[in-house]
Amino acid sequence: MMCSIEMSGSSIMRSTTGTPELIIFVAGLLLYGVLLWSIHRRFLKKVDLIFARHDSDAPSSAEINKRLDALNQDSAHSVFCMDRHANISFRQQKLTLVYGRVGTRSPGGIRGPVWTLRKTVFALVDTNQMDCMKSTPNIFKCAINGYTDSVFWVSLDALLSGYR
């Protein structure tokens, strides 16, 4: 709906948003929210499928937290936190998978470095397991090489397809 107001010889046009545009905007926001929720649920289902293969004879939560603390002290660009973990067997190796928040630092701009926080799945491995991880680059990608432990990003789709 358009209306014009005459003021001292000049015309000012003002546009108002009508109800149909508002309904389309709200529907678009709702659809976007449902899409994000669906993607997040699908990710969590994959995490649950992998973490259901948990072995009992592996490092405890306290030991994993100590290893993550040592790794965080060595790394200037990343911080790793654990929400839950699973110790799985993969190609005759015992791997520790961690689901948790990862903070990564980028150089930033005028205001300095920028930290990004996201939840993901990563593998916490010692130096003896490095060869196994490097032999499967479609599943594991190196994130941090530490002195005693290293972190590899885990492709959930590729790992699940390797289990089937």
Least confident of 4-13, 77-86, 113-122, 136-145: 4-13
Closest CA to 162 of 129, 130, 136: 136
The label of the residue with tokens 């709702």 reads 30
3-state secondary structure of 18: coil
Q: What is the mean pLDDT of residues 36-42?
A: 86
Binning pLDDT at 50, 70 and 90, where does residue 164 land? Answer: very low
Cα–Cα distance, 96 to 83 (Å, whole number): 13
Q: What is the mean pLDDT of residues 126-147?
A: 81
Q: What is the mean pLDDT of residues 81-100?
A: 85
Binning pLDDT at 50, 70 and 90, where does residue 95 land? Answer: confident
103 contact partners, CB below 8 Å, separation of at least 6: 78, 79, 81, 115, 116, 117
CA angle 54–138–39, rounded 5-degree value: 70
Q: How far is CA 139 from CA 10, 33, 70, 161, in A?
A: 66, 29, 25, 10
Residue 164's CB: how many other CB atoms inside 10 A?
A: 4
Report residue 106 CA to chain centroid gap: 16
pTM: 0.71
% of the chain beyond a pLDDT of 70: 84
